[in-house]
Every structure is written in C-alpha cells, then in structure tokens.
Amino acid sequence: MINLEVPKRLRAVAEQAHAIGVNVFRPISRKYDSAEHTYPKELDLLAAVLAGMNDGGGRASAAALSGAKKEDAADGPPRNKNGGNMAAVIGMAELCWGDLGLALTIPRQGLGNAALSAVGTREQKEQYGKRWIAMAITEPNAGSDSAAIRTSARLEGDEWVINGEKIFVTAGERSDAVVVWASIDPSLGRAAIKSFLVPKGTPGMKVVRLDHKLGIRASDTATIVFEDCRVPKDNILGSAEIDTRKAFAGVMKTFDNTRPVVAAMAIGVAGAALDRTRELLGRARPPEADARSPWLGSHVEAELARLDAELEAARLLTLKSAWMADNGIPNSLEASMAKAKAGRVAVELTLRCVELCGAAGYAETDLLEKWARDAKITDIFEGTQQIQMLVVARRVLGKSSAELR
C-alpha cells in the first residue's frame, strides 16, 4: 500500500536536493536566465559530486538526479518498494524549487540518460553510462504525435545510417550523445520506430541552431540535423525486430518513467511560487489573522488554500505513479494523469501568484515572474496537456490510438 508521506529512507534525498536548490541554484538563477545559452559552470562541481556518489555506492542520495532505472522495478506482486523512481521525483521537485532550468542542465542527467537506464544493455551502459545524453524526438512536422516522425535509420552492413531533422532537443548542444528516434521502415508506421545512441562529433550530425525561449533559459534547446550519420549496429536501444503489436509501445514506455519526473518539476516550481507568495503577502498580514476562524479569512487566504490543495493533489498523483513504477505495476495511465495535472497546476498557480503579488510578482526584482515563465514548459514537453488527456481517455475507455484520436 502506498504511503502518502516521503519515505523515511529518502528524506535525506529530499534534504540534499533542497540544499542544492537553496545554496547552488537560487543564487545563480537570475544570472543564467538573463545570460541565455551561457553554460552554468557552477554545475560542473555538482555533477562531479553526484558522479562520486554513484561510484561510491551512494545510490539513494544520487538517485534524485540519476533518473529512473529499469532494475528498480520489482518482479511479482507489489512489495511497497521505494526505489529510483520515487527518489527521482522527490529529488527533482526539490531541485526545481530552486530552479527548473538549472535542474535540466546538470551534466549527465539528460532525458537520454533515463532512456539508457531504462532499456539499455549492460554493454551500452558501460560505454555511455558516464556521458551526458540528450533525447531527440520532436521534428518540424511531428510534434505531439511521436508516431509521425520521419527521421529514418537504415542498416548498411554493421552500421545504421540516420537521416532527418530534430528540433527542441534539450541540452542538444551541451550533451555528449543523443538518443535519436527514427524509423527503420516507414512503410510499417509506428511499429518501426526505434531509438539510437549517437555520440556527439559523429560525422553527419550537426547542431544547426539554438532556440531562444520563454523560460528555462539556463537550459539550451537545439535543432540537430542528421545527414548520412553512421553509428555502429549495436547502438540501437532495444531490439531491431519489428513487432507490429507492441514495438512502438515498447519505445513509448520510456515516458512511463520520465513523465512522473516532469510532473515533479512542475510541483517544484509551483511550490516555490506558492511559498514566495505566502512570504510576500504575509508581510502585510495583520497579527490577529492567524487566530481567527478560516471561514472569516480574506479572499486571498481562500485562494492560497485552494492553490495549495491543487498542488497537493498533483503531488500525490506523482508519488503514486513513481511508486507503481518501482513496484513493477504498469503506470502509463497514472504517469499521464500526474503529468497532466501537475503541468496544468504549475501554469495556473504560478500565474495566479504573480497576480496576487501585484508589482512584486511582475517585476524582475523577484523570481516570481521567472517561475511563471519556467512553469509553462512542464505542460508542453514529454507530451502536451492535450496528449496526456488523450492517453488518459484511451486507457480509461480501453481504446487504441486508431480508435480514439
């Protein structure tokens, strides 16, 4: 049975991640929001510390940034296990309380790292496990519908030859490698979509543009072009066999682990905004307000209570989806529910906090306006709000993607 409190053995993860948010992220948050595309060198030391924690066996502490791992899922009936998935969401929420953009640009903690951990072979993990790996999925004509991608990969001898264009690649310039989604047989549709590990510097792979963005400016977002880019045959993640019944579903399972982490990002930035709003508004709060009945409170107090309840609902959905992943329970429905709820709450809550705080919320003298900009991405990447609701509807109604579009 899932417990609604932070597991005792993971409280150190939460405390350490919160300390990073307070002492490392917050002091440089505005600096790298203003200096877009400038790499935050302060994070190199943090990455080295995390690597040392992993190498030294401090897995529970480092798991906050390491992404969910396939081996963390239990076989057989639920055992109430709290593993890497739970540690990842708890830690990420605290990091993003500090700064979402900086959390996204910690070396060796990319979405591609999560994919490698989830489905990579032992040999692939040994070769790429200490690299910073980005994920390249979206294309100019294939946004929310991942099945519509047109990037191709054909097998020539002992090499895959990749051609296509990928946009909105988080850490696309800074990463050491990229996991690229491509079709090995376009005539077979989504069943033929596979993912490939492509090291940076591979001939035929080129970063052609960095995008200016509304928020998460500390994180670079790149466009990458592949022209006859060749990688070894063994660089495919998973099997090269095409199973029209479940091949694409297997690729999509990466999202079952990463969507709860994105939900945690939303919870973190929303929590930061709510905490700061209470702090700012509390300065004008009369001393007798704390002693009176909640039914006699102001409209602002009622609104803060409502926002807090919405945030708590998103947090509980996120913890449940992570707990299910750790205990080997299929969580596609719950992962999408958590991501949809948390993303929507983060956008609404941060904007409402800006409104409640007036000039203090709108000016660059405070981080509230930045958090409102940063929050929007949590409702977009890893599947938009609309896509999440579509996934939820399909799961609840028992419909396939062909039956419910």
CATH number assigned to the domain comprising residue 24: 1.10.540.10
* Residues 225 and 293 occupy one common structural domain: no
pLDDT of residue 257: 84
**Is residue 402 in a domain?**
no
* Residues 273 and 203 occupy one common structural domain: no
* Residues 266 and 390 occupy one common structural domain: yes
Residue 69 has pLDDT above 80, yes or no: no
> Are 154 and 230 contacting, i.e. CB atoms less than 8 angstroms apart?
no
* Residues 280 and 175 occupy one common structural domain: no
* Residues 137 and 201 occupy one common structural domain: yes
**Is residue 2 in a domain?**
no
Given 96, 128, 160, the domain boundary residue is 128
Given 172, 205, 237, the domain boundary residue is 237
* Residues 151 and 285 occupy one common structural domain: no
Taking only the tens place, the pLDDT of each residue in 336-376 is 999 999 999 999 999 999 999 999 999 999 999 999 999 99
* Residues 92 and 160 occupy one common structural domain: no
Taking only the tens place, the pLDDT of each residue in 174-213 is 999 999 999 999 888 888 999 999 999 999 999 999 999 9
User: If you average pLDDT over residues 245-268, what whole number do you get?
Assistant: 79
**Is residue 3 in a domain?**
no
pLDDT of residue 72: 45
Residue 78 has pLDDT above 70, yes or no: no
Q: Which two tokens stand for residue 123?
A: 């040999």
Q: Catalytic residue positions?
A: 382
Strands 159-170 and 221-232: antiparallel
Maximum distance among all Cα pairs of the chain, rounded to whole angstroms: 78
The residues, ordered by sequence, that sit 6+ positions from 336 with a Cβ below 8 Å of its Cβ are 259, 383, 388, 391, 392, 395
Q: Taking the model in full, what pTM does it have?
A: 0.89
**Is residue 290 in a domain?**
yes
Tell me the CA distances in angstroms from 266 to 250, 320, 385, one per residue in order.
26, 16, 13
Taking only the tens place, the pLDDT of each residue in 17-36 is 999 999 999 999 999 999 99
Taking only the tens place, the pLDDT of each residue in 33-53 is 999 999 999 999 888 777 655
**Is residue 68 in a domain?**
yes
Please tell me the total count of domains within the chain.
3
Q: How far apart are CA 31 and CA 46, in angstroms?
A: 18
* Residues 272 and 390 occupy one common structural domain: yes
pLDDT of residue 180: 96
* Residues 167 and 205 occupy one common structural domain: yes
Residue 262 structural domain: 247-397
Q: How far apart are CA 380 and CA 214, in angstroms?
A: 12
Task: Give the CATH number, domain containing residue 180.
Answer: 2.40.110.10
pLDDT of residue 374: 98
**Is residue 31 in a domain?**
yes
* Residues 279 and 326 occupy one common structural domain: yes
Task: Give the CATH number, domain containing residue 318.
Answer: 1.20.140.10
Taking only the tens place, the pLDDT of each residue in 113-126 is 888 887 899 999 99
Mean pLDDT (the chain, rounded): 87
Comparing 3 with 22, the larger pLDDT belongs to 22
**Is residue 1 in a domain?**
no
* Residues 117 and 252 occupy one common structural domain: no
Given 77, 106, 128, the domain boundary residue is 128
Taking only the tens place, the pLDDT of each residue in 276-294 is 999 999 865 655 555 555 5
* Residues 257 and 201 occupy one common structural domain: no
